[in-house]
Each structure stands twice: as structure tokens, then as C-alpha cells.
Structure 1
Amino acid sequence: MKKIFIIAAVLSFALLQACKKDKLANVGNIQAPVITSPSADTAIIVTQADSSQILKINWKSATYGVSAVVSYFVQVDSAGKNFSALVNLGNVTSGNSVSLSYGTLNTLLTNGLNLAPNAPTSVELRVGSAIYGKDTVYSKIVKIALTTFKGVDRLWLPGSYEGYAPASAPTIPKQSPNMFEGYAYFSAAGNFKFTSAPDYNHINYGDGGNGTLTTNGSAGGIGYNSAGVYLLDANTSALTYSATYISTFGIIGTATVGQWNTSTPMTYNQSTGLWTITTALTAGALKFRANDGWDINYGPSNSNNLTGPMIFNDSSSINIVNAGTYTITIDMTQSKQVGYLYSVVPN
């Protein structure tokens, strides 16, 4: 009797599984999702200015022939790669669209597919669907042309002093999102522009008047009155700028001959972009400031270090322990890193 019961149970289980399988096999007429947008051969050009624009990928639902929760996922890969190195753009349950910003799309594809920036690339898009993690089917592939961009990490400074040639112009780096700052030497009075690339084919920033910038490519350059070093700041979001003439940098503090009253001037080298001085110091404090005033001054990141980064408008100072002759250098070129460096070397 017991054996008969066990056999019956086994047969019942097998029959139940067969029924389930038959039920999903009714799923034999599965219809894959169909992408409705973007359409084939759509061209998407991503720039910094439109990075917040939204791309919406829509599709018609898959049909499984049963009542079930359908999961969808959107995949993209470089054309011809057969989705061997795909990037997933989103997942939804019982939905028919995925939305993401151009900026997010740009990041996902430049990092995930290693696409070359600022050049059109053919990519393939598909939507997959599944129920219970099984019976996965894919839409037909939609091929689109995508141009990604590399975020601007510096601004070029073409101007009359160097023949308005962006490719050979000095640059200032990005300090924070939309904020650029740096020192540059202009060999003659004149005017200049900020450009987002070493050419005029991208965003150019001219003089908008009263300390503002304009992206109107036909606008004039920003005028300045004297040759020399300038501290330049540009906000490409607020479209504002400042250009401060630096007549001199100097050392100041109780370790210097001028104490806290007068800066001792340093010498600027046009070819290296460095400010230097060799002078006698006593035990005490040492800082740096421009134009013999406190509007532009720098302290060390660590008071006990004789070399390191400088911090703008920082109250700390370098602690000179031993009196003696020192060669003091500040590097405002940012050629080694984003930020300004100092060194105090005993002779």
C-alpha cells in the first residue's frame, strides 16, 4: 500500500510539472518586444550643453500567452560586437520604457564601451524580456549613430598676444564643476577668449560685458591693459569671469625682513612660469601674497612641511625652524597637478 502511495505521488508530481511545462509551452507563440523609439539610424549627439536632455527608449510589450509579470532590460553594444561587451541601460518590470539623461548615457557608454569621444560611433540597441527569469527573448536590433563627448577639463586662452591660435595657447584647469582657475602670462596688452577645445569648432567664450561671458562666437575678446601675469577665473555655467593683474608675488611673515608689514618681492621667470627668491630667513612664519595685499594670499596645507600644496586665503603659515639662507619657489603653472605648489629649500 505504501509503495502504491509513493508511486502515485511521484506520478502526480510529474504530471503537475508536465502541466506547468505545457502551460509555459503554450508560450510557444512568444512575441518579442518591439522597439518603437528611437528609430533606426537616429543620430544622437551628446554635448555638455545638452547633457540634461532625456533619451526615452520605448517598446511594444512582449507576448507570452500567459498571465505573468514580464521583466524588461535594455542593452547596447558597439555595432558588430554581437552584444559581447554590452552595457545595460535599465531594467523595468511590466513597463514599456526606460529614460536616462544624455549625460548618464555618455558616462555609461564612454566607460563601458570605451567609445572615442567627439566622434560618431554606430551602436546597436535591443530590449530583452523574460518571465520568472526564463524564456528570454530579444527585440530586433535598432542601430543608431551616437556621438559622445569628453567633459571639458580645461579652458584654452587664445588671444592677440599669441595670434589667436587656440592649439598653442596656454590653458587653465577645471577646479570644480563649471569652475576654471589659473595663472597665465600675456606677453602684450590686448584681448583673449576662453575656448573649450584647442580650436574654434566648440564652445567659445567672449566678452559679454561687465564681467560676463557670452557663447556668441562672433563676440569680441576680453580686453586687458598690460602685459604680465593674470589670475583668471571662469564660471561656464553662470557665464562670469575675472582677470586680475599680478604685478608681483612676495613672501611675508615673521621669518622675513618685512615681517607682517611688507612683502619681499619674488622674481618671475617667463619661460618656466615660476616665482623665486633666494633670501635670508629667521625662525618664524612664512606666507605668500600677491600685489603686496591680502586679497590673494596662500598658506601651506601643512605648516611643518617645507614643500607642498598651497591653499588660497588660508590662515596658516610655513613654520621656519632654523634661520639661514633659503631658495623659495612657488609654482602656479598647474603643469604637475591641479593646484599650486611651494618649496622652501635651505642653501
Structure 2
Amino acid sequence: MKIKNILFLMAVIFAFVACNDDTDPVLPQYKASVLTHPANDTLYVLEQVNASKVLLTLDWTAYKQTDLLVGAVSYVVQMDLAGNDFSQARTFTPVPGVTVDAESSDYTTSLKVEDVNKVLMNGFRVPADTIANVEFRVITRVGNVVVPSSASNVFKARVIPYKALDTPVLYIIGDGLVGWDNSAAAIGRDLQVFFGESNVDVSVGKYTYTGYFKKGGGLKLVTNAGDWDSAYGYADAAGTLVAKGGGNIPTPAADGFYTFTVDLKALSYNFEPYAAGASAPTYNRIGVVGSATSNGWDSPDAEMTQVTPHVWVIKGISLTAAEMKFRANDAWDVSWGGNSTNLPFGISDSGDNIAIAKGSTYFISFNDLTKNYVIIDEDRLP
């Protein structure tokens, strides 16, 4: 048996022997850490656009602990709703203790927006967009055992969580655009894929689609191909949507080009005339070209299909981890690049090559009016 284990057993035996019948055994106690940052009663408003960013940083001083209790020392940050006295505490990733002989050491750790939001929404069932009074503390862990007596002072905060939207791909369906086929095979045809100004916008439920809409038609918004029950529908003439229900969204009173915007968080939609659509250049062919394609930078390009005016689609295209562009008529007279490094949503807003990070089979949609594109791994589609 190791010397430390023997010492620990001797300490326990001594504690019991030293007690009389009227007292409880006294085991060695750890000295509590001291939280020094941040300030109390700060209000934090969580937003999904900042999900991967740091929400707050906790600094504390921890003290050298007795050698009588054996095992690796680490520190965990606990969070609970105010008033629970940490009886329902959730813990975050532990911070390893340093192995130095100093009497005290300073530590720091950061908590991300999405991690705190998940605890509030999923763990504590706090309603979105409401203030939750929470408390944080640092507690010592020895091996796998949390030592209750080691709890630090408490940091109090007010936090407003958000409802996370997990709908990276949203489809438009209906005879106001193409048709009503709601099968996976219809993705890119009757099921038109919404574009997004950026991945950040999409992460908070904001989508856009500029195209030719037919008067007197209807539309719905589908989140899962083939599933009508989860679709968004029409609520009222004020431009309000209904999740998992509602009627068909009516198209504008006149045929023409419109920008159709949707905000799933606000449950709203809007049609705005797109005057430039009527006089915009048209192309016989648009294709995908580049080192990511099987033909490289040479013709012929991987040809896309124009499924509705100015919106082009290609399915099942194999791309390697390299670069690509869109171009018209297998020539460099008109081409579109982009510097987005975070697919699937982007805009061809520069002459740069579009980087493909992973070799796979892709679905691609490109709008030559707005230069929006979607490049998505087909593993993420039905």
C-alpha cells in the first residue's frame, strides 16, 4: 500500500479514536478557494449568434491542500439557480490543479455562451428570453470525489437565455414558386432551399430567397423533407407564421421577382419587390469549376440546372478538399467566387476561390441575381 494511503487511513483512525461518544469524527478539510472575478449581479443577454464565444471568465485563488487526502486535485465550476443552495448544481469542465509547492495558485477558466444556455434551457428549464438568477462557485475535486467543504464564495449573475434554433436547412415549397412535391427526391426542385446572408443569420432563424413568384399561389416552409407536420404556415395577413401548422402562405398579387424573407424566431415573413430581376442578365449555362471538381479548372464545368429563373442547382457533385467557383457558359467572362470559410451559406462577394474543407458529395444551389449560394454536404440532407 502506498505511503499516502497508509497516512490517510491512519488519519481516519485517529479521528475516530480522538472522538468521544458525543462527537462526530472530524476529517481533514480543504481550504476553500476564493473567487476574485467577475463582479456580482452582472446581466448577461445570451444570443445564438454568439454561441461559440466566451460569456464570462472566472478567476480564483486556490490554496495548497493537505497531503492527508490522496488523489489528483482539480477544480470545477458549478452553476445553480439562486435559492437552490447548489442542491441541483450543474458542473462545467474541470480545471486541473497545478503541482507546485506554493501555498496558493491562481486559476482562470471561461464559460461559453452555448454551454451556459444549454444548462439553463435543458437542465433548469428556464423559459427563453426571461431573466434567470443564477449562482456560480468553484469547488475542489479530489480524484472523482467533490469535497463539499471546499466551496468558494459565490458569484451571482442574471442571465437571459435564448431558444436555440437547429434548422440549418429550410425549404420553400408550393405552386407559388415551383410545386408541391415534398419528397427528398424533390430537394432543389419543388423543395427550394432557402439562402442565408450568412451562417450567423441562419443560426438565428433568418433566411432569404430572391426569385420569380407566381400570383395566386401558395407556399409553406418545410424543415424536414417529406414531413408536413413540422412545416411553418400562414397565420395572418400581417405576415405572421405558425410553427407546425397554419395555412398556405399567399404569394403577392402580381407575378414577378420578389425577395422573400423569413424570421423563424420572430415567426414573421415578408415579400419585397425585386425590381432588378426583370432586367437582369440571363445565362444559357452556369457550372461549378475548380480544383475541387473532377475536371479541375478546365472545361467542361460541372453543369447546374436552372430550376426557376436565375436559381441554379446541382445534386450529387463530388468535391475534394480544394477550391471552386461558379461561372457562366464554360468561360471566364463571367464568374463568381467568395471568401466564405464557413459553409454552407455564403455570398459570392469577391473574386476569391470558394474553399471546400472536406471531400464529400454535395448539394449546391446558386442564385445569379443575389449571388447567394448554399454548398451543403449531402450527408446532412435526407
TM-score, scaled relative to structure 1 = 0.43
Q: Which structure has the larger Rg over C-alpha atoms?
A: 1
Q: Which has the higher strand share?
A: 1
